[in-house]
């Protein structure tokens, strides 16, 4: 028995397979579709100790594709078998069970190719984008069932030992199952028994076309979380209908087409509690006899252990936690809890792969770049490296350089490490970020013996330290716009507002309604301020591109009667009594306030960068001092700069 997390590390036997622990890596579609990259990304989860690794949504038919064949593997394409076989091997060779998610997206397919037919679904309708969806007739239903079964057979042939059948998130199986999307009058619609028929026939056909050892894990949405959508009571009934046919039931939530539900399905953020779907798994577990998997915002081994110990689920799905740190299972098992790199639940990974076909993780610079970092040369000598700046970028650079055998000194001018991550210290909505800050500080202290706090990294110091390499991570200063009164005693920067809420009066105006300004507004509301006004010159708030973060943030702000959100409004003047603003027509108004929070962005500290540029043989500037961006950009650049020291 594992002495740290006994339930989490107790093996479980399903069919003829023993899983080494209770941590599964659910699919995280990266859209790499480059053999080596996909293989290495998934292999790392197996190397890190997960019991099962499921590769992302693979489509059962190349007729019905959401993305092009360049980005998703398709099981009826013989060219993809090589990719799949190599990936399965890479998971299996490292002791995890290779699993593949089989999906038919039905109505959501797109006409990428000349041969793409119109999408299909249980019902005929016209999508909001004008695409006609055909109601599936008996032949089409039979074809889809056969596609699933053939795909499963190919999956087994290529080495997968487990199938995750996607019966949730609003894809085709879920469409048949839910009365919201299936009002057919024939044997495929109407009663739950009829609506479940498609799923059951798919499962039965898969059983026929695969060996007796093949594990079938059915992923469902325990609650579709939309009016008229499937709810847990029906899912429990459905689970009872299928439990003798499948091996595991995996309970997620939500549907992909309704943004609001994504925060419970894919993109749990800091606005959603950790383990937000556990109650759904628990409800299913109470009625079935097969193992139940829970998923959603479970990022710590403690929570995972607790869920298992309380009998709420049998297996824990950790998707993003294993992107953030694929070694989480091994570290937890060995009692190295403090060394687990925590996931921020920021959804940069999802954002990158969905919107930019560029998968990255905010805290794990290696994720998605395995092909690059695994092939970089190893240093042949130990160099003297001075890292200037103890924010996330500086700490990451120091950690990586030290891990690579260099002699590292970290110089930080303030009394503490952490840099801008200090904004998380008092904000309960930034608890994940706080964990990341603590992790970076712990790792820095563990690996870097020479940390100089309260020390300015200037050319004089460099003369004394004589580094071979300087990594300059000196960050950025708040940008203060040229507005009358901006230097007044009642003006505080957004960063300071997070650190010192006690300095802020009851009536607050926040200048700048970007992500930081809106987060500051919510923090002020949580800190008990009475009137909070956000003044934004553009016609948008927060960061609409990062809507997975912005949506719940704006929802919370709009629901709070103390908060006023003013867009297309500019600041004309700040006085000791408040702020004079003007709308886009130029109509002026005065808002009385005790404190003005300035959230108008950051300016890179280029002066310090340039003063240090020639103080060592090699020099790298990284993070906000190059361009103020996100944590991810700083951490990534830091890691690769340190990797470049040879």
Ligand X SMILES: Cc1cc2nc3c(=O)[nH]c(=O)nc-3n(C[C@H](O)[C@H](O)[C@H](O)COP(=O)(O)O)c2cc1C
Asked if 564 and 532 touch (Cβ cutoff 8 Å), the reply is yes
β pairing state of 292-295 and 132-135: unpaired
Under rule CB under 6 A, residue 343 binds ligand SF4: yes
C-alpha distances in Å from residue 54, one per residue of 51, 100, 462, 509: 10, 5, 49, 48
Show the tokens assigned to 593: 């306030």
- Chosen residue from 345, 366, 404, 406 binding ligand SF4 by CB under 6 A: 345
**Cβ closer to ligand X: 297 or 513?**
297
How far apart CA 327 and CA 263 sit, in angstroms, is 25
With CA atoms as reference, report the closest residue to 440 among 628, 639, 627: 639
Where does this chain touch ligand X (CB under 6 A) — which range of 106-114, 173-181, 279-287, 349-357?
Answer: 349-357
The option from ligand SF4, ligand X, none interacting with 101 (CB < 5 to 8 A, set by class) reads ligand X
Q: How far is the CB of 272 from ligand SF4 (least distance, A)?
A: 12
| CA within 13 Å, CB half, 499 | 11
Q: How far is the CB of 42 from ligand SF4 (least distance, A)?
A: 15
Residue 299 CA, distance from chain mean position: 11
Q: How many residues bind ligand X (CB under 6 A)?
A: 24
Under rule CB under 6 A, residue 349 binds ligand SF4: yes
Q: How far is the CB of 88 from ligand SF4 (least distance, A)?
A: 23
Q: Which of residues 264-293 bind ligand X (CB under 6 A)?
A: 266, 268
- Chosen residue from 167, 189, 297, 512 binding ligand X by CB under 6 A: 297
- Chosen residue from 27, 291, 391, 393 binding ligand X by CB under 6 A: 27
Q: Any residues with CB less than 8 A from the CB of 133 and at least 6 apart, and which?
A: 106, 107, 118, 119, 120, 121, 123, 124, 125, 126, 127
Q: How far is the CB of 563 from ligand X (least distance, A)?
A: 28
**Cβ closer to ligand SF4: 347 or 595?**
347
Residue 116 CA, distance from chain mean position: 31
- Chosen residue from 87, 347, 533, 569 binding ligand SF4 by CB under 6 A: 347
Q: Where are the alpha helices (DSSP H) in 226-369?
A: 232-242, 259-265, 278-287, 301-309, 320-324, 328-333, 348-355
At how many degrees (to 10) do helices 392-403 and 631-643 cross?
30
The option from ligand SF4, ligand X, none interacting with 348 (CB < 5 to 8 A, set by class) reads ligand SF4
**Cβ closer to ligand SF4: 253 or 284?**
253
C-alpha distances in Å from residue 372, one per residue of 86, 102, 324, 420: 18, 29, 17, 28
Q: How many residues bind ligand SF4 (CB under 6 A)?
A: 13
Where does this chain touch ligand SF4 (CB under 6 A) — which range of 88-96, 122-130, 217-225, 341-349?
Answer: 341-349
How far apart CA 481 and CA 363 sit, in angstroms, is 31
- Chosen residue from 44, 57, 224, 633 binding ligand X by CB under 6 A: 57
Under rule CB under 6 A, residue 28 binds ligand X: yes
Q: How far is the CB of 250 from ligand X (least distance, A)?
A: 9
- Chosen residue from 291, 296, 512, 513 binding ligand X by CB under 6 A: 296
Is residue 149 within a helix (H) or strand (E), and if so which, with residue range?
A: helix 138-157
Asked if 410 and 79 touch (Cβ cutoff 8 Å), the reply is no
Q: How far is the CB of 134 from ligand X (least distance, A)?
A: 25
β pairing state of 469-472 and 450-452: unpaired
- Chosen residue from 52, 175, 230, 252 binding ligand X by CB under 6 A: 252
Show the tokens assigned to 451: 């940390």
With CA atoms as reference, report the closest residue to 327 among 98, 94, 18: 94
Residue 1 CA, distance from chain mean position: 32
Under rule CB under 6 A, residue 344 binds ligand SF4: yes
Q: Which of residues 320-339 bind ligand SF4 (CB under 6 A)?
A: 320, 323-324
**Cβ closer to ligand SF4: 325 or 605?**
325
Asked if 165 and 203 touch (Cβ cutoff 8 Å), the reply is yes
Under rule CB under 6 A, residue 430 binds ligand SF4: no
The option from ligand SF4, ligand X, none interacting with 57 (CB < 5 to 8 A, set by class) reads ligand X
C-alpha distances in Å from residue 422, one per residue of 362, 426, 495, 510: 17, 8, 8, 19
How far apart CA 453 and CA 461 sit, in angstroms, is 13
The option from ligand X, ligand SF4, none interacting with 362 (CB < 5 to 8 A, set by class) reads ligand SF4
**Cβ closer to ligand X: 32 or 523?**
32
Q: Which of residues 302-341 bind ligand X (CB under 6 A)?
A: 317-321
Query: In 456-557, which ranges are E strands?
Result: 469-472, 476-478, 491-493, 507-511, 531-535
Q: Which of residues 355-414 bind ligand SF4 (CB under 6 A)?
A: 361-363
Q: How far is the CB of 27 from ligand X (least distance, A)?
A: 4
Q: Under the phi-then-psi rule, with left for phi > 0, alpha for psi from -120 to 50, and beta for the rest, what region is 502?
A: alpha
C-alpha distances in Å from residue 128, one per residue of 107, 125, 228: 12, 10, 19
**Cβ closer to ligand X: 252 or 444?**
252
Binding-residue pattern over the window 149 to 168 for ligand X, x denoting contact by CB under 6 A: -----------------x--
Under rule CB under 6 A, residue 349 binds ligand X: yes
Q: How far is the CB of 365 from ligand SF4 (least distance, A)?
A: 10
Q: How far is the CB of 541 from ligand X (least distance, A)?
A: 25
Binding-residue pattern over the window 96 to 115 for ligand X, x denoting contact by CB under 6 A: -----x--------------
Enumerate binding residues for ligand X (CB under 6 A). Answer: 26-29, 56-57, 101, 166, 169, 252, 266, 268, 295-298, 317-321, 349-350, 353
Enumerate binding residues for ligand SF4 (CB under 6 A). Answer: 320, 323-324, 343-349, 361-363
């Amino acid at each position: 028995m594992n002495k740290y997390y006994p339930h989490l590390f107790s093996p479980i036997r399903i069919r003829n397979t023993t899983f080494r622990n209770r941590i599964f890596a659910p699919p995280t579609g990266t859209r790499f579709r480059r053999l080596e990259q996909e293989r290495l990304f998934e292999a790392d989860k197996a190397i890190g100790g997960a019991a099962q690794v499921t590769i992302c949504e693979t489509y059962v038919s190349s007729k019905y594709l959401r993305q092009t064949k360049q980005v998703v593997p398709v099981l009826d394409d013989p060219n993809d078998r090589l990719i799949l076989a190599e990936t399965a091997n890479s998971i299996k060779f490292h002791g995890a069970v290779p699993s593949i998610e089989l999906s038919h997206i039905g109505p959501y397919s797109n006409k990428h190719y000349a041969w793409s037919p119109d999408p299909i679904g249980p019902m005929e309708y016209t999508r909001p984008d004008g695409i006609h969806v055909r109601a599936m007739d008996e032949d089409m239903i039979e074809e889809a069932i056969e596609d699933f079964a053939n795909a499963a057979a190919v999956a087994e042939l290529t080495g997968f030992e487990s199938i995750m059948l996607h019966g949730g998130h609003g894809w085709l199986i879920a469409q048949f199952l839910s009365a919201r999307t299936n009002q057919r009058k024939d044997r495929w619609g109407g009663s739950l028994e009829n609506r479940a028929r498609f799923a059951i026939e798919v499962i039965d056909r898969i059983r026929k076309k695969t060996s007796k050892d093949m594990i079938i894990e059915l992923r469902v949405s325990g609650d579709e979380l939309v009016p008229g959508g499937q709810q847990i009571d029906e899912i429990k009934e459905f689970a009872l209908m299928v439990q003798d046919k499948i091996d595991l039931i995996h309970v997620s939530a939500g549907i992909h087409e309704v943004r609001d539900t994504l925060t419970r399905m894919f993109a749990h953020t800091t606005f959603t509690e950790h383990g937000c779907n556990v109650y759904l798994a628990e409800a299913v577990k109470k009625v079935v006899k097969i193992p139940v998997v829970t998923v959603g915002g479970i990022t710590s081994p403690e929570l995972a252990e607790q869920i298992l110990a309380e009998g709420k689920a049998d297996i824990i799905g950790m998707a993003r936690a294993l992107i953030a740190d694929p070694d989480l299972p091994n570290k937890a098992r060995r009692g190295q809890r403090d060394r687990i790199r925590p996931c921020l639940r920021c959804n940069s990974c999802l954002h990158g792969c969905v919107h930019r076909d560029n998968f990255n993780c905010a805290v794990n610079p290696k994720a998605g770049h395995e092909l690059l970092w695994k092939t970089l040369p190893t240093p042949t000598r130990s160099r003297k490296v001075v890292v200037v700046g103890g924010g996330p970028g500086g700490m990451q650079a120091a950690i990586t350089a030290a891990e690579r055998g260099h002699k590292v000194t970290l110089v930080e001018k303030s009394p503490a490490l952490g840099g801008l991550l200090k904004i998380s210290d008092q904000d309960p909505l930034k608890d994940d970020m706080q964990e990341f800050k603590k992790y970076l500080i712990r790792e820095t202290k563990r690996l870097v013996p020479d940390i100089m706090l309260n020390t300015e990294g200037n050319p004089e110091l460099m003369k004394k330290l004589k580094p071979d390499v300087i990594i300059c991570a000196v960050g950025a200063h708040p940008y203060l716009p040229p507005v009358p009164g901006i230097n007044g005693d009642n003006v505080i920067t957004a960063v300071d507002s997070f650190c010192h809420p006690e300095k802020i009066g009851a009536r607050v105006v926040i200048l700048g309604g970007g992500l930081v300004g809106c987060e500051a507004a919510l923090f002020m509301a949580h800190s008990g301020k009475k009137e909070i006004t956000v003044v934004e010159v553009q016609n948008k708030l927060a960061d609409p591109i990062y809507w997975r973060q912005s949506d719940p943030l704006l929802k919370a702000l709009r629901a709070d009667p103390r908060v006023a959100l003013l867009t297309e409004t500019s600041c004309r003047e700040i006085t000791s009594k408040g702020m004079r603003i003007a709308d886009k027509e130029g109509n002026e108004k005065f808002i009385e306030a005790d404190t003005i929070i300035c959230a108008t962005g950051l300016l890179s500290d280029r002066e310090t960068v340039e003063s240090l540029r020639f103080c060592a043989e090699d020099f790298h500037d990284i993070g906000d001092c190059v361009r103020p961006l996100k944590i991810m950009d700083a951490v990534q650049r830091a890691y690769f700069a340190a990797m470049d020291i040879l």
